[in-house]
Structure 1
Protein backbone atom coordinates (compact mmCIF):
# COMPACT_ATOMS: atom_id res chain seq x y z
CA UNK A 1 0.00 0.00 0.00
CA UNK A 2 1.73 3.16 -1.24
CA UNK A 3 0.72 6.00 1.09
CA UNK A 4 2.03 9.55 0.77
CA UNK A 5 4.65 10.35 3.42
CA UNK A 6 4.87 6.76 4.63
CA UNK A 7 8.19 5.11 5.39
CA UNK A 8 8.50 1.40 4.76
CA UNK A 9 10.10 -0.70 7.48
CA UNK A 10 12.96 -1.65 5.14
CA UNK A 11 13.72 1.96 4.19
CA UNK A 12 13.72 3.01 7.83
CA UNK A 13 16.00 0.11 8.78
CA UNK A 14 18.49 0.77 5.96
CA UNK A 15 18.72 4.53 6.58
CA UNK A 16 19.12 4.02 10.33
CA UNK A 17 21.92 1.48 9.82
CA UNK A 18 23.69 3.75 7.34
CA UNK A 19 23.63 6.72 9.69
CA UNK A 20 24.63 4.72 12.75
CA UNK A 21 27.52 3.13 10.85
CA UNK A 22 28.86 6.35 9.35
CA UNK A 23 28.57 8.08 12.73
CA UNK A 24 30.98 5.58 14.28
CA UNK A 25 33.38 5.85 11.31
CA UNK A 26 33.38 9.67 11.36
CA UNK A 27 33.83 9.94 15.13
CA UNK A 28 36.89 7.71 14.94
CA UNK A 29 38.13 9.51 11.83
CA UNK A 30 37.63 12.92 13.43
CA UNK A 31 39.45 11.94 16.60
CA UNK A 32 42.42 10.40 14.79
CA UNK A 33 42.69 13.11 12.12
CA UNK A 34 42.00 16.05 14.45
CA UNK A 35 39.28 17.42 12.12
CA UNK A 36 36.50 19.41 13.81
CA UNK A 37 34.41 19.53 10.65
CA UNK A 38 34.57 15.73 10.44
CA UNK A 39 33.48 15.48 14.07
CA UNK A 40 30.67 17.96 13.35
CA UNK A 41 29.56 15.76 10.48
CA UNK A 42 29.60 12.79 12.86
CA UNK A 43 27.45 14.64 15.40
CA UNK A 44 25.00 15.54 12.65
CA UNK A 45 24.83 11.92 11.62
CA UNK A 46 24.23 10.90 15.21
CA UNK A 47 21.42 13.46 15.30
CA UNK A 48 20.10 11.99 12.06
CA UNK A 49 19.88 8.54 13.62
CA UNK A 50 17.82 9.86 16.52
CA UNK A 51 15.83 12.03 14.12
CA UNK A 52 14.85 9.07 11.95
CA UNK A 53 13.89 7.03 15.01
CA UNK A 54 11.82 9.88 16.45
CA UNK A 55 10.25 10.66 13.08
CA UNK A 56 9.37 7.05 12.43
CA UNK A 57 7.80 6.53 15.86
CA UNK A 58 5.84 9.78 15.48
CA UNK A 59 4.68 8.70 12.03
CA UNK A 60 3.43 5.39 13.43
CA UNK A 61 1.62 7.17 16.27
CA UNK A 62 0.00 9.60 13.82
CA UNK A 63 -1.59 6.67 11.95
CA UNK A 64 -3.71 5.78 14.99
CA UNK A 65 -7.40 6.52 14.53
CA UNK A 66 -9.46 8.93 16.61
CA UNK A 67 -10.58 7.72 20.03
CA UNK A 68 -12.07 9.05 23.26
CA UNK A 69 -8.72 10.43 24.39
CA UNK A 70 -7.91 12.22 21.11
CA UNK A 71 -11.06 12.92 19.13
CA UNK A 72 -9.03 14.68 16.43
CA UNK A 73 -6.59 11.78 16.17
CA UNK A 74 -2.83 11.70 16.73
CA UNK A 75 -1.57 13.66 13.71
CA UNK A 76 0.22 16.23 15.86
CA UNK A 77 2.70 13.62 17.02
CA UNK A 78 4.57 14.41 13.80
CA UNK A 79 4.52 18.14 14.58
CA UNK A 80 6.07 17.47 17.99
CA UNK A 81 8.72 15.28 16.35
CA UNK A 82 9.51 18.01 13.79
CA UNK A 83 9.84 20.60 16.57
CA UNK A 84 12.12 18.33 18.60
CA UNK A 85 14.32 17.44 15.64
CA UNK A 86 14.69 21.02 14.40
CA UNK A 87 15.49 22.23 17.93
CA UNK A 88 18.11 19.50 18.28
CA UNK A 89 19.72 20.65 15.03
CA UNK A 90 20.02 24.24 16.27
CA UNK A 91 21.45 23.20 19.66
CA UNK A 92 24.10 20.99 18.04
CA UNK A 93 24.91 23.72 15.49
CA UNK A 94 25.45 26.30 18.24
CA UNK A 95 27.80 23.93 20.06
CA UNK A 96 29.80 23.36 16.88
CA UNK A 97 30.02 27.09 16.12
CA UNK A 98 31.42 27.78 19.62
CA UNK A 99 34.02 25.04 19.17
CA UNK A 100 34.88 26.28 15.66
CA UNK A 101 35.49 29.81 16.95
CA UNK A 102 37.84 28.37 19.57
CA UNK A 103 39.69 26.47 16.83
CA UNK A 104 40.09 29.68 14.81
CA UNK A 105 42.11 31.21 17.64
CA UNK A 106 43.90 27.96 18.47
CA UNK A 107 44.53 26.04 15.21
CA UNK A 108 45.32 22.34 15.53
CA UNK A 109 47.16 19.98 13.19
CA UNK A 110 44.94 17.86 10.95
CA UNK A 111 45.55 14.68 8.96
CA UNK A 112 44.05 15.75 5.62
CA UNK A 113 44.38 12.35 3.97
CA UNK A 114 42.46 10.45 6.65
CA UNK A 115 39.94 13.29 6.82
CA UNK A 116 39.36 13.04 3.05
CA UNK A 117 38.92 9.25 3.05
CA UNK A 118 36.36 9.29 5.86
CA UNK A 119 34.54 12.30 4.34
CA UNK A 120 34.10 10.51 1.00
CA UNK A 121 32.66 7.46 2.76
CA UNK A 122 30.33 9.74 4.71
CA UNK A 123 29.22 11.54 1.57
CA UNK A 124 28.23 8.30 -0.16
CA UNK A 125 26.25 7.09 2.86
CA UNK A 126 24.55 10.48 3.28
CA UNK A 127 23.61 10.65 -0.40
CA UNK A 128 21.95 7.23 -0.25
CA UNK A 129 20.04 8.17 2.93
CA UNK A 130 18.95 11.55 1.53
CA UNK A 131 17.59 10.00 -1.67
CA UNK A 132 15.71 7.36 0.32
CA UNK A 133 14.11 9.96 2.61
CA UNK A 134 13.31 12.50 -0.10
CA UNK A 135 9.85 11.10 -0.78
CA UNK A 136 7.25 12.90 1.29
CA UNK A 137 9.56 15.71 2.46
CA UNK A 138 7.56 18.34 0.55
CA UNK A 139 4.21 17.47 2.12
CA UNK A 140 5.02 16.44 5.69
CA UNK A 141 6.75 18.58 8.30
CA UNK A 142 8.03 15.59 10.23
CA UNK A 143 9.56 14.08 7.09
CA UNK A 144 10.93 17.48 6.08
CA UNK A 145 12.74 17.85 9.42
CA UNK A 146 14.20 14.36 9.09
CA UNK A 147 15.11 14.95 5.44
CA UNK A 148 16.77 18.24 6.43
CA UNK A 149 18.97 16.38 8.87
CA UNK A 150 20.14 14.12 6.08
CA UNK A 151 20.52 16.91 3.52
CA UNK A 152 22.57 18.98 5.96
CA UNK A 153 24.92 16.06 6.48
CA UNK A 154 25.31 15.61 2.73
CA UNK A 155 26.25 19.29 2.39
CA UNK A 156 28.52 18.99 5.41
CA UNK A 157 30.30 16.03 3.79
CA UNK A 158 30.88 18.10 0.63
CA UNK A 159 32.34 20.85 2.80
CA UNK A 160 34.56 18.43 4.69
CA UNK A 161 35.90 17.01 1.41
CA UNK A 162 36.76 20.50 0.12
CA UNK A 163 38.42 21.30 3.43
CA UNK A 164 40.37 18.03 3.39
CA UNK A 165 41.66 18.75 -0.11
CA UNK A 166 42.81 22.26 0.88
CA UNK A 167 44.49 20.88 3.99
CA UNK A 168 46.14 18.02 2.09
CA UNK A 169 47.34 20.16 -0.81
CA UNK A 170 48.06 23.54 0.82
CA UNK A 171 48.03 22.81 4.59
CA UNK A 172 45.37 25.50 5.15
CA UNK A 173 44.01 24.12 8.45
CA UNK A 174 41.92 27.21 9.18
CA UNK A 175 39.46 26.10 6.50
CA UNK A 176 38.26 23.28 8.82
CA UNK A 177 36.53 25.49 11.45
CA UNK A 178 35.37 27.93 8.74
CA UNK A 179 33.51 25.14 6.94
CA UNK A 180 32.05 24.04 10.28
CA UNK A 181 30.64 27.54 10.91
CA UNK A 182 29.21 27.81 7.39
CA UNK A 183 27.47 24.43 7.53
CA UNK A 184 26.15 25.01 11.06
CA UNK A 185 24.84 28.44 10.05
CA UNK A 186 23.04 26.97 7.03
CA UNK A 187 21.45 24.25 9.18
CA UNK A 188 20.18 26.83 11.69
CA UNK A 189 18.80 28.96 8.86
CA UNK A 190 16.85 26.01 7.45
CA UNK A 191 15.70 24.70 10.85
CA UNK A 192 14.17 27.91 12.19
CA UNK A 193 11.16 27.99 9.80
CA UNK A 194 10.27 24.44 10.87
CA UNK A 195 10.35 25.45 14.53
CA UNK A 196 8.29 28.57 13.88
CA UNK A 197 5.66 26.69 11.85
CA UNK A 198 5.45 23.84 14.38
CA UNK A 199 4.90 26.30 17.24
CA UNK A 200 2.23 28.09 15.20
CA UNK A 201 0.35 24.81 14.69
CA UNK A 202 0.67 23.75 18.34
CA UNK A 203 -0.60 27.19 19.38
CA UNK A 204 -3.64 26.64 17.11
CA UNK A 205 -2.52 29.40 14.78
CA UNK A 206 -4.81 30.36 11.93
CA UNK A 207 -4.05 29.07 8.43
CA UNK A 208 -3.18 31.53 5.67
CA UNK A 209 -6.53 31.70 3.85
CA UNK A 210 -8.73 34.60 2.69
CA UNK A 211 -11.39 34.99 5.38
CA UNK A 212 -13.18 37.86 3.69
CA UNK A 213 -13.49 35.72 0.57
CA UNK A 214 -14.92 32.88 2.68
CA UNK A 215 -17.55 35.22 4.09
CA UNK A 216 -18.46 36.50 0.63
CA UNK A 217 -18.70 32.98 -0.82
CA UNK A 218 -20.94 31.73 1.98
CA UNK A 219 -23.21 34.80 1.92
CA UNK A 220 -23.62 34.22 -1.83
CA UNK A 221 -25.45 30.95 -1.05
CA UNK A 222 -29.24 31.58 -1.20
CA UNK A 223 -30.74 31.42 2.29
CA UNK A 224 -27.65 32.65 4.16
CA UNK A 225 -27.87 36.23 5.44
CA UNK A 226 -24.62 36.58 7.38
CA UNK A 227 -21.51 34.76 8.56
CA UNK A 228 -19.79 35.50 11.87
CA UNK A 229 -17.81 34.10 14.80
CA UNK A 230 -15.38 32.15 12.60
CA UNK A 231 -12.50 30.14 14.04
CA UNK A 232 -9.89 28.34 11.96
CA UNK A 233 -6.82 26.43 13.04
CA UNK A 234 -4.40 23.78 11.78
CA UNK A 235 -4.34 20.21 13.07
CA UNK A 236 -1.08 19.74 11.18
CA UNK A 237 0.51 21.31 8.10
CA UNK A 238 -2.06 19.69 5.78
CA UNK A 239 -5.36 19.70 7.72
CA UNK A 240 -7.42 22.82 8.43
CA UNK A 241 -10.29 22.79 10.93
CA UNK A 242 -12.93 25.52 10.81
CA UNK A 243 -16.01 26.42 12.85
CA UNK A 244 -18.45 29.18 11.92
CA UNK A 245 -21.81 30.66 12.92
CA UNK A 246 -24.17 31.18 9.99
CA UNK A 247 -27.35 33.29 10.01
CA UNK A 248 -30.03 31.66 7.86
CA UNK A 249 -33.58 32.35 6.81
CA UNK A 250 -36.15 30.66 9.00
CA UNK A 251 -36.55 27.20 7.47
CA UNK A 252 -37.07 23.51 8.19
CA UNK A 253 -34.16 21.44 9.48
CA UNK A 254 -34.16 19.37 6.27
CA UNK A 255 -33.73 22.57 4.25
CA UNK A 256 -30.94 23.77 6.55
CA UNK A 257 -29.09 20.51 5.98
CA UNK A 258 -28.98 21.22 2.25
CA UNK A 259 -27.34 24.57 3.03
CA UNK A 260 -24.90 22.77 5.31
CA UNK A 261 -23.82 20.55 2.44
CA UNK A 262 -23.29 23.58 0.20
CA UNK A 263 -21.21 25.32 2.88
CA UNK A 264 -19.08 22.22 3.42
CA UNK A 265 -18.57 21.83 -0.32
CA UNK A 266 -17.35 25.42 -0.73
CA UNK A 267 -15.00 25.24 2.25
CA UNK A 268 -13.53 21.85 1.37
CA UNK A 269 -13.19 22.29 -2.39
CA UNK A 270 -12.08 25.94 -2.55
CA UNK A 271 -10.28 26.42 0.76
CA UNK A 272 -9.18 22.81 1.48
CA UNK A 273 -10.79 22.71 4.91
CA UNK A 274 -10.54 19.23 6.41
CA UNK A 275 -13.26 19.46 9.08
CA UNK A 276 -16.17 21.95 9.29
CA UNK A 277 -18.47 22.71 12.25
CA UNK A 278 -21.46 24.94 11.49
CA UNK A 279 -23.80 26.60 13.98
CA UNK A 280 -27.04 27.79 12.36
CA UNK A 281 -28.76 30.88 13.77
CA UNK A 282 -31.65 33.14 12.79
CA UNK A 283 -30.94 36.65 14.10
CA UNK A 284 -28.57 35.88 16.97
CA UNK A 285 -25.14 37.43 16.36
CA UNK A 286 -26.20 38.90 13.02
CA UNK A 287 -24.28 42.11 13.71
CA UNK A 288 -21.13 40.44 15.05
CA UNK A 289 -17.80 40.51 13.26
CA UNK A 290 -16.46 37.59 11.24
CA UNK A 291 -13.54 37.14 13.67
CA UNK A 292 -15.15 37.55 17.07
CA UNK A 293 -13.43 37.97 20.44
CA UNK A 294 -14.81 35.18 22.64
CA UNK A 295 -14.15 36.99 25.93
CA UNK A 296 -16.13 40.02 24.77
CA UNK A 297 -18.91 37.75 23.54
CA UNK A 298 -19.20 36.02 26.92
CA UNK A 299 -19.32 39.39 28.71
CA UNK A 300 -22.18 40.50 26.43
CA UNK A 301 -24.14 37.32 27.17
CA UNK A 302 -23.59 37.71 30.92
CA UNK A 303 -25.10 41.21 30.78
Structure 2
Protein backbone atom coordinates (compact mmCIF):
# COMPACT_ATOMS: atom_id res chain seq x y z
CA UNK A 1 0.00 0.00 0.00
CA UNK A 2 1.39 3.42 -0.88
CA UNK A 3 0.73 6.87 -2.23
CA UNK A 4 0.37 7.39 -5.94
CA UNK A 5 0.07 10.86 -7.47
CA UNK A 6 -0.21 10.13 -11.18
CA UNK A 7 -1.60 12.36 -13.89
CA UNK A 8 -1.08 10.16 -16.95
CA UNK A 9 -2.36 12.52 -19.66
CA UNK A 10 -0.25 15.40 -18.39
CA UNK A 11 2.73 13.05 -18.05
CA UNK A 12 2.48 11.84 -21.64
CA UNK A 13 2.01 15.32 -23.16
CA UNK A 14 4.98 16.56 -21.14
CA UNK A 15 7.06 13.57 -22.28
CA UNK A 16 6.10 14.37 -25.90
CA UNK A 17 7.32 17.96 -25.42
CA UNK A 18 10.59 16.72 -23.89
CA UNK A 19 11.05 14.36 -26.85
CA UNK A 20 10.41 17.12 -29.39
CA UNK A 21 12.91 19.44 -27.71
CA UNK A 22 15.52 16.68 -27.68
CA UNK A 23 15.04 15.94 -31.39
CA UNK A 24 15.50 19.64 -32.28
CA UNK A 25 18.67 19.74 -30.16
CA UNK A 26 20.02 16.57 -31.84
CA UNK A 27 19.74 18.08 -35.33
CA UNK A 28 21.25 21.40 -34.25
CA UNK A 29 24.23 19.63 -32.69
CA UNK A 30 24.76 17.45 -35.77
CA UNK A 31 24.97 20.66 -37.82
CA UNK A 32 27.51 22.18 -35.41
CA UNK A 33 29.61 19.00 -35.22
CA UNK A 34 30.02 18.63 -38.99
CA UNK A 35 30.78 22.35 -39.41
CA UNK A 36 33.37 22.37 -36.62
CA UNK A 37 35.14 19.19 -37.75
CA UNK A 38 35.58 20.64 -41.26
CA UNK A 39 36.54 24.04 -39.86
CA UNK A 40 38.92 22.59 -37.29
CA UNK A 41 40.78 20.55 -39.93
CA UNK A 42 41.04 23.53 -42.30
CA UNK A 43 42.08 26.04 -39.60
CA UNK A 44 44.25 23.68 -37.54
CA UNK A 45 42.45 24.75 -34.32
CA UNK A 46 42.58 22.16 -31.54
CA UNK A 47 40.00 24.03 -29.46
CA UNK A 48 37.61 23.97 -32.43
CA UNK A 49 38.18 20.23 -32.94
CA UNK A 50 37.80 19.64 -29.20
CA UNK A 51 34.56 21.61 -29.30
CA UNK A 52 33.45 19.41 -32.23
CA UNK A 53 34.32 16.27 -30.24
CA UNK A 54 32.27 17.54 -27.34
CA UNK A 55 29.43 18.42 -29.73
CA UNK A 56 29.52 14.87 -31.09
CA UNK A 57 29.30 13.56 -27.51
CA UNK A 58 26.32 15.93 -27.17
CA UNK A 59 24.64 14.26 -30.13
CA UNK A 60 25.17 10.80 -28.61
CA UNK A 61 24.01 11.96 -25.17
CA UNK A 62 20.89 13.58 -26.63
CA UNK A 63 20.05 10.40 -28.56
CA UNK A 64 20.49 8.37 -25.35
CA UNK A 65 18.29 10.84 -23.46
CA UNK A 66 15.65 10.68 -26.19
CA UNK A 67 15.58 6.85 -26.15
CA UNK A 68 15.35 6.91 -22.33
CA UNK A 69 12.43 9.37 -22.51
CA UNK A 70 10.58 7.06 -24.94
CA UNK A 71 11.31 3.96 -22.83
CA UNK A 72 10.17 5.65 -19.61
CA UNK A 73 6.65 5.93 -21.06
CA UNK A 74 6.32 2.15 -21.48
CA UNK A 75 3.92 0.39 -19.13
CA UNK A 76 4.94 -2.24 -16.60
CA UNK A 77 4.43 -5.91 -17.51
CA UNK A 78 4.64 -9.35 -15.89
CA UNK A 79 8.35 -9.66 -16.66
CA UNK A 80 9.10 -5.93 -16.15
CA UNK A 81 7.11 -5.08 -13.03
CA UNK A 82 8.72 -1.64 -12.69
CA UNK A 83 8.48 -0.95 -16.42
CA UNK A 84 11.40 1.15 -17.71
CA UNK A 85 11.41 3.68 -14.87
CA UNK A 86 15.19 3.38 -14.47
CA UNK A 87 15.90 4.18 -18.14
CA UNK A 88 16.38 7.91 -17.53
CA UNK A 89 18.70 7.27 -14.59
CA UNK A 90 20.85 4.97 -16.72
CA UNK A 91 20.92 7.67 -19.42
CA UNK A 92 22.09 10.23 -16.85
CA UNK A 93 24.83 7.84 -15.69
CA UNK A 94 26.04 7.16 -19.24
CA UNK A 95 25.96 10.84 -20.22
CA UNK A 96 27.80 12.05 -17.13
CA UNK A 97 30.41 9.32 -17.68
CA UNK A 98 30.96 10.46 -21.27
CA UNK A 99 31.42 14.06 -20.10
CA UNK A 100 34.35 12.95 -17.97
CA UNK A 101 35.82 10.63 -20.64
CA UNK A 102 35.71 13.43 -23.24
CA UNK A 103 37.38 15.75 -20.72
CA UNK A 104 40.29 13.32 -20.20
CA UNK A 105 40.81 13.04 -23.98
CA UNK A 106 40.83 16.85 -24.27
CA UNK A 107 43.40 17.21 -21.46
CA UNK A 108 45.73 14.79 -23.28
CA UNK A 109 45.32 16.71 -26.57
CA UNK A 110 45.87 20.07 -24.88
CA UNK A 111 49.13 18.94 -23.25
CA UNK A 112 50.43 17.66 -26.60
CA UNK A 113 49.57 20.98 -28.29
CA UNK A 114 51.27 22.96 -25.49
CA UNK A 115 54.45 21.04 -26.25
CA UNK A 116 54.12 21.62 -30.00
CA UNK A 117 52.09 24.82 -30.68
CA UNK A 118 50.77 25.45 -34.20
CA UNK A 119 49.62 28.55 -36.08
CA UNK A 120 45.85 28.66 -36.48
CA UNK A 121 43.47 30.23 -39.03
CA UNK A 122 41.55 32.37 -36.54
CA UNK A 123 38.79 33.82 -38.78
CA UNK A 124 37.22 30.41 -39.35
CA UNK A 125 37.48 29.66 -35.62
CA UNK A 126 35.59 32.88 -34.79
CA UNK A 127 32.70 32.28 -37.20
CA UNK A 128 32.21 28.62 -36.29
CA UNK A 129 32.34 29.35 -32.56
CA UNK A 130 29.57 31.93 -33.12
CA UNK A 131 27.50 29.20 -34.82
CA UNK A 132 28.08 26.95 -31.79
CA UNK A 133 27.02 29.67 -29.36
CA UNK A 134 23.75 30.38 -31.20
CA UNK A 135 22.74 26.75 -31.81
CA UNK A 136 23.73 25.47 -28.37
CA UNK A 137 22.21 28.53 -26.69
CA UNK A 138 18.87 27.75 -28.33
CA UNK A 139 19.09 24.07 -27.28
CA UNK A 140 19.95 25.10 -23.70
CA UNK A 141 16.81 27.25 -23.54
CA UNK A 142 14.71 24.34 -24.84
CA UNK A 143 15.90 21.92 -22.14
CA UNK A 144 16.40 24.27 -19.17
CA UNK A 145 12.97 23.85 -17.55
CA UNK A 146 12.99 20.02 -17.62
CA UNK A 147 16.60 19.90 -16.40
CA UNK A 148 15.51 21.31 -13.03
CA UNK A 149 13.44 18.23 -12.13
CA UNK A 150 14.78 15.36 -14.24
CA UNK A 151 18.23 13.78 -13.99
CA UNK A 152 18.18 12.52 -17.57
CA UNK A 153 17.30 15.96 -18.97
CA UNK A 154 19.87 17.55 -16.67
CA UNK A 155 22.59 15.34 -18.16
CA UNK A 156 21.60 16.43 -21.69
CA UNK A 157 21.30 20.05 -20.56
CA UNK A 158 24.80 19.97 -18.99
CA UNK A 159 26.29 18.62 -22.21
CA UNK A 160 24.74 21.51 -24.13
CA UNK A 161 25.48 24.18 -21.51
CA UNK A 162 29.15 23.24 -21.25
CA UNK A 163 29.38 23.13 -25.03
CA UNK A 164 27.89 26.61 -25.31
CA UNK A 165 30.45 27.85 -22.78
CA UNK A 166 33.18 26.03 -24.70
CA UNK A 167 32.11 27.86 -27.86
CA UNK A 168 32.34 31.17 -25.98
CA UNK A 169 35.86 30.22 -24.88
CA UNK A 170 36.79 29.26 -28.45
CA UNK A 171 35.45 32.63 -29.69
CA UNK A 172 37.58 34.51 -27.16
CA UNK A 173 40.59 32.40 -28.16
CA UNK A 174 39.96 33.08 -31.85
CA UNK A 175 39.87 36.84 -31.23
CA UNK A 176 43.09 36.72 -29.16
CA UNK A 177 44.83 34.68 -31.86
CA UNK A 178 43.60 37.02 -34.63
CA UNK A 179 44.67 40.30 -33.00
CA UNK A 180 47.57 39.27 -30.73
CA UNK A 181 48.85 35.99 -32.29
CA UNK A 182 48.56 34.26 -28.89
CA UNK A 183 48.35 30.74 -30.31
CA UNK A 184 49.05 29.20 -26.90
CA UNK A 185 45.53 30.32 -25.92
CA UNK A 186 44.08 27.49 -28.03
CA UNK A 187 45.37 24.58 -25.88
CA UNK A 188 44.88 26.63 -22.71
CA UNK A 189 41.17 27.04 -23.48
CA UNK A 190 40.94 23.35 -24.37
CA UNK A 191 42.35 22.50 -20.93
CA UNK A 192 39.93 24.91 -19.21
CA UNK A 193 36.97 23.37 -21.09
CA UNK A 194 38.08 19.87 -20.04
CA UNK A 195 38.40 20.77 -16.36
CA UNK A 196 34.95 22.38 -16.41
CA UNK A 197 33.47 19.23 -17.97
CA UNK A 198 34.88 17.15 -15.11
CA UNK A 199 33.52 19.61 -12.55
CA UNK A 200 30.01 19.55 -14.07
CA UNK A 201 29.91 15.83 -14.82
CA UNK A 202 31.13 14.53 -11.47
CA UNK A 203 28.11 15.59 -9.36
CA UNK A 204 25.65 14.08 -11.85
CA UNK A 205 27.70 10.86 -12.08
CA UNK A 206 27.69 10.61 -8.27
CA UNK A 207 23.93 11.23 -7.99
CA UNK A 208 22.96 8.77 -10.73
CA UNK A 209 25.30 6.14 -9.25
CA UNK A 210 23.62 6.53 -5.84
CA UNK A 211 20.22 5.81 -7.42
CA UNK A 212 21.47 2.82 -9.44
CA UNK A 213 23.20 1.35 -6.37
CA UNK A 214 19.94 1.65 -4.35
CA UNK A 215 21.61 3.90 -1.76
CA UNK A 216 19.38 5.75 0.68
CA UNK A 217 18.63 9.24 -0.74
CA UNK A 218 20.93 11.84 0.81
CA UNK A 219 18.00 13.90 2.13
CA UNK A 220 16.64 11.02 4.24
CA UNK A 221 17.80 10.02 7.74
CA UNK A 222 16.85 6.39 8.49
CA UNK A 223 17.03 6.93 12.27
CA UNK A 224 14.54 9.83 12.06
CA UNK A 225 12.07 7.62 10.18
CA UNK A 226 12.43 4.76 12.67
CA UNK A 227 11.90 7.16 15.59
CA UNK A 228 8.79 8.64 13.95
CA UNK A 229 7.19 5.20 13.41
CA UNK A 230 8.07 4.05 16.94
CA UNK A 231 6.06 6.98 18.36
CA UNK A 232 2.91 5.11 17.29
CA UNK A 233 1.58 3.44 20.44
CA UNK A 234 1.03 -0.03 18.95
CA UNK A 235 4.55 -0.28 17.52
CA UNK A 236 7.20 -2.12 19.55
CA UNK A 237 10.12 -2.18 17.12
CA UNK A 238 11.07 -1.14 13.57
CA UNK A 239 13.78 -3.18 11.89
CA UNK A 240 15.08 -4.62 8.61
CA UNK A 241 14.68 -1.23 6.92
CA UNK A 242 15.43 -0.63 3.24
CA UNK A 243 15.00 2.80 1.61
CA UNK A 244 15.84 3.42 -2.03
CA UNK A 245 15.04 5.70 -4.94
CA UNK A 246 13.56 3.98 -7.98
CA UNK A 247 13.75 7.13 -10.08
CA UNK A 248 13.30 10.85 -9.49
CA UNK A 249 9.58 10.53 -8.74
CA UNK A 250 9.52 7.47 -6.49
CA UNK A 251 11.17 6.76 -3.14
CA UNK A 252 10.43 3.33 -1.67
CA UNK A 253 10.60 2.03 1.89
CA UNK A 254 10.21 -1.49 3.13
CA UNK A 255 10.51 -2.48 6.78
CA UNK A 256 9.47 -5.05 9.38
CA UNK A 257 7.39 -3.76 12.29
CA UNK A 258 7.11 -5.71 15.53
CA UNK A 259 3.78 -4.94 17.23
CA UNK A 260 3.16 -4.86 20.98
CA UNK A 261 -0.02 -6.92 20.65
CA UNK A 262 -1.38 -9.53 18.25
CA UNK A 263 -3.56 -7.01 16.39
CA UNK A 264 -6.28 -7.63 13.76
CA UNK A 265 -5.64 -6.99 10.10
CA UNK A 266 -8.17 -4.14 10.15
CA UNK A 267 -6.21 -2.48 12.99
CA UNK A 268 -2.99 -2.89 11.02
CA UNK A 269 -4.56 -1.13 8.02
CA UNK A 270 -5.35 1.92 10.17
CA UNK A 271 -1.78 2.03 11.54
CA UNK A 272 -0.36 1.53 8.05
CA UNK A 273 -2.30 4.53 6.77
CA UNK A 274 -0.88 6.63 9.63
CA UNK A 275 2.65 5.47 8.76
CA UNK A 276 2.14 6.27 5.07
CA UNK A 277 0.91 9.79 5.85
CA UNK A 278 3.90 10.45 8.12
CA UNK A 279 6.44 9.13 5.62
CA UNK A 280 4.94 10.91 2.61
CA UNK A 281 4.40 14.35 4.15
CA UNK A 282 7.53 14.56 6.32
CA UNK A 283 10.09 12.42 4.49
CA UNK A 284 9.02 12.38 0.82
CA UNK A 285 8.55 8.59 0.69
CA UNK A 286 5.63 7.69 -1.57
CA UNK A 287 5.78 3.88 -1.74
CA UNK A 288 5.61 1.96 1.53
CA UNK A 289 5.74 -1.80 2.10
CA UNK A 290 5.46 -2.95 5.73
CA UNK A 291 5.80 -6.53 7.01
CA UNK A 292 3.87 -6.80 10.31
CA UNK A 293 5.21 -9.15 13.02
CA UNK A 294 4.25 -10.28 16.50
CA UNK A 295 6.65 -12.27 18.65
CA UNK A 296 8.68 -13.39 15.63
CA UNK A 297 12.22 -14.51 16.32
CA UNK A 298 14.37 -12.62 13.84
CA UNK A 299 17.03 -9.91 13.85
CA UNK A 300 15.78 -6.65 15.36
CA UNK A 301 18.58 -4.57 13.87
CA UNK A 302 17.49 -1.51 11.89
CA UNK A 303 19.79 -2.41 9.01
CA UNK A 304 20.12 -6.09 8.13
CA UNK A 305 22.32 -7.38 5.31
CA UNK A 306 20.06 -9.72 3.32
Tell me if TM exceeds 0.5.
yes
Equivalent residue for 1:260? Answer: 272
Give the whole-Å Cα distance in 2 for the aligned partners of 1:5 and 1:230: 35
Give the whole-Å Cα distance in 1 for the aligned partners of 2:67 and 2:133: 26
Give the drift of 1:244.
Answer: 0.7
**1:6 corresponds to 2:18:** no
Give the whole-Å Cα distance in 2 for the aligned partners of 1:11 and 1:83: 21
**1:239 corresponds to 2:250:** yes
SS in 2 for 1:184: helix
Aligned 1:1-303 pairs, distance under 5 A: 2-3=10-11, 6=15, 8=17, 9-208=19-218, 209-248=220-259, 249-284=261-296, 288-294=300-306
Give the whole-Å Cα distance in 1 for the aligned partners of 2:25 and 2:305: 48
Give the whole-Å Cα distance in 2 for the aligned partners of 1:5 and 1:290: 40
Equivalenced residue count is: 294
SS in 1 for 2:233: coil
| C-alpha contact (below 8 Å) 1:139/1:238 kept by paired residues | no
Give the drift of 1:287.
Answer: 7.2
Equivalent residue for 1:300? Answer: none
Give the drift of 1:137.
Answer: 0.8
| C-alpha contact (below 8 Å) 2:23/2:66 kept by paired residues | no
Give the whole-Å Cα distance in 2 for the aligned partners of 1:265 and 1:12: 37
1:276-297 deviation line (CA, Å, top 9, x unaligned):
1101111225871222233xxx
TM-score, scaled relative to structure 2: 0.91
1:217-275 deviation line (CA, Å, top 9, x unaligned):
11112321221111111212442111011122222111111111111111122111131
TM-score, scaled relative to structure 1: 0.92
Give the whole-Å Cα distance in 1 for the aligned partners of 2:124 and 2:305: 64
Give the whole-Å Cα distance in 1 for the aligned partners of 2:92 and 2:21: 19
Give the whole-Å Cα distance in 2 for the aligned partners of 1:285 and 1:129: 59
Decide whether aligned partners of structure 1 residues 291 and 285 sit closer, same or farther in structure 2, where only a CA change above 3 A counts: farther
Give the whole-Å Cα distance in 1 for the aligned partners of 2:297 and 2:120: 73
Give the whole-Å Cα distance in 2 for the aligned partners of 1:287 and 1:89: 44
Decide whether aligned partners of structure 1 residues 186 and 69 sit closer, same or farther in structure 2, where only a CA change above 3 A counts: same
Query: What runs of 5+ residues in structure 2 fail to find an aligned partner?
Result: 1-8
- Structure 1 window deviating more from structure 2 (99-108 vs 203-212): it is 203-212
Give the whole-Å Cα distance in 1 for the aligned partners of 2:81 and 2:225: 26
SS in 2 for 1:165: helix
Cα RMSD of the aligned pairs, angstroms, is 1.7
| C-alpha contact (below 8 Å) 1:126/1:151 kept by paired residues | yes
Decide whether aligned partners of structure 1 residues 16 and 43 sit closer, same or farther in structure 2, where only a CA change above 3 A counts: same
